[in-house]
A and B are shown apart, each in its own frame.
Chain A
Amino acid sequence: MDDLKLPCWAAGIALALAVTLFIRDPYIASVLNLIAIAALTAVSLRFVMLMGELNFATAAFVGIGAYTTGAVVTILDWPFAIALVAGGLVAGLVSIVFGYVTLRTKGPYFLLIGFAFTEAVRILYSKSTTLGGTSGMIGIFPPVALDGWMPTVIVAVSAALIFALYALERSDFGKILTAIRDNENVARTVGLNILLVKIACFAAASAAAGVAGSLHAFANNVISPGDFSFLVAAFALAYVKVGGEDNIVGPLFGSVLLVVLGSYALGLGGDEHIFYGAAITLAVLLLPRGITGLVTGRRARAAGKEH
């Protein structure tokens, strides 16, 4: 495995957790929750981008995780930890089946089938009376003992999964993903089972997205089909694109920036859609490598000047 930069991660996570411990204001706490969940979703999306595909089914798996957790807590009445794990597990399992079929397609086809899947799953939620139909589910509460600790828990779980995906990216498995993106046939001819690797990548990302959904369910206590439209994936894409897709910090930075700015804009009576839309459009037109891309580009040029 390549260098994982553990000291940086330890420091960063410690800092994030420290922030959650010192926040008392419930509004800021909710924004922190939003940021953590957004970051996890964005990292999940980016993980699939490593193999060169745009995963528009992300929203579907966030929803599957959320609804699984909702069902586990409100219908089965099982504990918090199980609900959380179940969200990721069910999302992961569904993604394996879905991926087995759809990862044989590429590019625009994979993108659009993911989009269609998101809409189809939403219709399923709306039709299911057990899952609350169009009104959704309510009463998804974390255990009383964790009351007031939720931002810390959410940040901790998100951080753990983000680091796990990062570790995977830096391992030899991650190199296969890059190979698939750059030159799939070469990877195929050295004995690598491309479909299997793609499914594994997709499943890991989707399980993470599922947990993001579970966290969303616990943070909001209510969920409905409308929460999981393709906009979830669109926003995640914004975080990745604005922050920069070339490294793991990009989506994290993008989530923080856009969620904070977005909350501020909402406070001003602004329109969330126009805000995010403008952010995406401007980022794509002016900052193709995102904000972190600007920074690394400048550093590379500075290094070049030294020679």
Chain B
Amino acid sequence: MQTAIQLILTSLQIGAVYILFSLGLTLVFGVMRIVNFAHGQLFAVSALVVATTVPWLAGWGLPILPAYLFAVVAGVGVAVALGLLMYVGGFRFFQRDLVGSFILSIGLVLVLDGVLLKVFGGAVRPVPEILPGTVSVLGATITNQRLALCVAAMVITGLLYLALTRTKLGKALRAVSIDHEAAMLQGVPYNAMALAGFIIAAGLAALAGALIAPVTIVSPVIGADYLVKGFIAVIVGGLGSVPGAIVGGLFVAAIETFGSFYFDPSSATIAIFLLVIAVLLVRPKGLLGHG
């Protein structure tokens, strides 16, 4: 029972990042009907900026928590700026063009892969501990950092959900996601929505990267692993569905955690893959998908 609770807790905190990552992927697909492989690079850029900035600021004598918060702002800023560049320079010409946009994103992945390696170097960067100590939840332990990560992810997801259901922009985004032609007939400016959706997604990827930086090993290739898992989460949940991304993220995290514990990480990955195939057999558009 103790183990089960610990595993569930670990699943939740791994799932938290997957969910944030997947929300961005699914949002972009929902609004623009495109698959953006370069999403992982935005995640990586943010994580790398945070991982570089925190030690640098701390070196200047700034206390760790403000240093981290400042680094998060920097990381998200850089990543979102990069996302904006990607959209304006490329993706806005490929709205609703799955193949074209995908190929473009592959090109960007390759370029950014090389560029990030050159700029940040291949070395691994540890981030100093920000919230020391652990806490006990229902008999299982979790570090304060990881707990903060979970809480932050939940807050962000909650805010996103509120934004999508309560704000005018959010409702417009959802309208475009469900039926873009009808939405346009109602006067929703499609191009503005596509831009908004893309930027929000970039922000989500950036936040995910900034949150993961203190608890993991940050290197320029960090995006790739999350990309595979993120896309699996989105396929399982259904492309374009926000609840789907949450379900999918938790699903992948749970199998990865329990699978790694009872077997080993690579078997867990294979299990995830087989389960995705099983889901697709029964529901070719994912559990909650549309489009």
A binding-site residues for B, Cβ under 8 Å: 54, 101-102, 104-109, 111-113, 115-117, 119-120, 123-124, 126-127, 231, 234, 237-238, 241, 271, 273-274, 276-285, 288
B73 at the A interface (CB under 8 A) = no
* Cβ-defined contact, B281 with A101, below 8 A: yes
Specify which of A111, A126, A127, A278 is in contact with B107 (CB 8 Å cutoff). A278
Interface pair B107/A105, CB less than 8 Å apart: no
Contact status B273-A271, CB under 8 Å: no
Bound: A111/B228 CA distance, A: 12
Q: Which of B109, B239, B270 contacts A277 (CB 8 A)?
A: B109
Bound: A287/B277 CA distance, A = 36
Kindly state whether residue B253 has any CB partner on chain A within 8 Å: no
A-B pairs, top 4 by smallest CB distance, nearest first, are: A277-B110, A280-B107, A281-B107, A277-B111
Q: Is the CB of A115 within 8 A of B231?
A: yes
5 contacts between A and B (CB under 8 A): A105-B280, A119-B269, A124-B270, A277-B110, A281-B104
Q: Is the CB of B90 within 8 A of A281?
A: yes
Q: Contacts A116-B231, A117-B273; is A277 near B114 (CB within 8 Å)?
A: yes
A113 surroundings in chain B (CB, below 8 A): 235, 276-277, 280
Q: Say whether A288 contacts B100, CB under 8 Å.
A: yes
Of residues 89 through 122 on chain B, the ones whose CB sits less than 8 Å from some CB of chain A are 90, 93, 98-100, 102-104, 106-115, 117-118
Is the CB–CB distance between A123 and B270 below 8 Å? Answer: yes
Contacts of B267 in A (CB 8 A): 127
Most buried by B among A108, A113, A123, A234: A108
Report the bound CA distance from A108 to B28 in whole Å: 13
Cβ distance B55 to chain A, nearest Cβ, rounded Å: 27
Q: What is the interface of chain A mostly: helix, strand, loop, or mixed?
A: helix
* A280, B106: Cβ atoms closer than 8 Å: yes
Q: Contact check, A104 vs B284: say whether CB atoms are below 8 A apart.
A: yes
- Complex interface residues of chain B between 244 and 291 (CB less than 8 A to chain A): 266-267, 269-270, 273, 276-277, 280-281, 284-286
CB atoms of B273 and A120 under 8 A apart: yes
Q: Given A54-B102, A284-B103, do A108 and B93 touch, yes or no (CB 8 Å)?
A: no
Tell me whether B110 and A280 are in contact (CB under 8 A): yes
Q: Bound complex: CA of A299 vs CA of B269, how far in Å? A: 51
Is there an interface contact between A120 and B103, defined as CB atoms closer than 8 Å? no
Known: A109-B285, A112-B35. A234 touches B239 (CB 8 A): no
User: Which chain A residues lie closer than 8 Å to B35 at the CB level?
Assistant: 108, 111-112
Residues of B within 8 A of A (CB): 29, 35, 90, 93, 98-100, 102-104, 106-115, 117-118, 228, 231-232, 234-235, 239, 266-267, 269-270, 273, 276-277, 280-281, 284-286
B99 cross-chain contacts in A, Cβ below 8 A: 54
- B280 touching A271, Cβ below 8 Å: no
Docked-complex contact A112 and B231, CB < 8 angstroms = yes
With A113-B277, A277-B109 as known contacts, state yes or no: A285 contacts B90, CB within 8 Å. Answer: yes
Q: Which of B102, B111, B235 is A278 in contact with, Cβ under 8 Å? A: B111
| Interchain nearest-CB distance for A267 vs B (Å) | 17
Q: Which B residues are in CB contact (< 8 Å) with A288?
A: 100
Min CB gap B222→A, angstroms: 15
Contact A123 B107 (CB under 8 A): no
Q: How far is the CA of A104 from the CA of B284 in the complex (A)?
A: 7
A79 vs B229: C-alpha distance when bound (angstroms): 40
Cross-interface CB contact of B284 among A109, A111, A112, A237, cutoff 8 Å: A109
What are the residues of chain B within 8 A of A274 when measuring CB–CB?
Answer: 110-111, 113-115
Complex Cα–Cα for A127 and B276 (A):
21
Which B residues are in CB contact (< 8 Å) with A124? 270
Q: Is the pair B106, A234 in contact by a Cβ cutoff of 8 Å?
A: yes
In the bound complex, CA of A111 to CA of B269 (Å): 18
Q: Looking across the interface, which residue of chain A has its beta carbon closest to that of B109?
A: A277
Interface centre among B108, B110, B281, B284 (most CB of A within 10 A): B110
Judge whether A273 and B273 touch: CB under 8 Å: no
Shortest C-beta distance, A99 to chain B (Å), equals: 12
Tell me the bound Cα distance from A80 to B266 in angstroms.
33
| Smallest beta-carbon distance A147→chain B, Å | 35
Among B29, B117, B269, contact of A123 (Cβ-Cβ < 8 Å): B269
Chain A min CB distance to B35 (Å): 5
Q: A108-B29, A237-B106, A281-B107 are contacts. A119–B228 as well, Cβ < 8 Å?
A: yes
A265 to chain B, nearest CB (A): 11
Complex contacts, A102 vs chain B, CB 8 Å: 277, 280
* Contact between B280 and A108, CB atoms less than 8 A apart: no
Q: Is the CB of A116 within 8 A of B273?
A: yes
Least distance between B104 CB and chain A CB atoms (Å): 5
Q: In the complex the two chains form, what is the Cα distance from A234 to B277 in whole Å?
A: 22
User: Given the complex, which residues of A lie within 8 Å of B100, measured CB to CB?
Assistant: 284, 288
List of A residues within 8 angstroms of B284 by Cβ: 104-106, 109
The interface residues of chain A lying within 8 Å CB-to-CB of B231 are 112, 115-116
Contacts of A237 in B (CB 8 A): 103, 106
CB distance from A123 to the nearest CB of B (A): 5
Cβ B239 vs Cβ A108 within 8 A? yes
Asked, given contacts A54-B102, A109-B284, A285-B104, whether A276 binds B235 with beta carbons under 8 Å apart, the answer is no
Q: Give the CA-CA distance A32 to B239 in the complex, in Å.
A: 42
| B104, B118, B281: the one within 8 Å of A284 (CB) | B104
Instruction: For residue A142, give the distance in angstroms from its CB to the closest CB of chain B.
Output: 32
A274-B110, A280-B110 as given contacts; A115 in contact with B228, CB under 8 Å: yes
A111-B102, A124-B270, A237-B103 in contact; A277/B281 too (CB < 8 A)? no
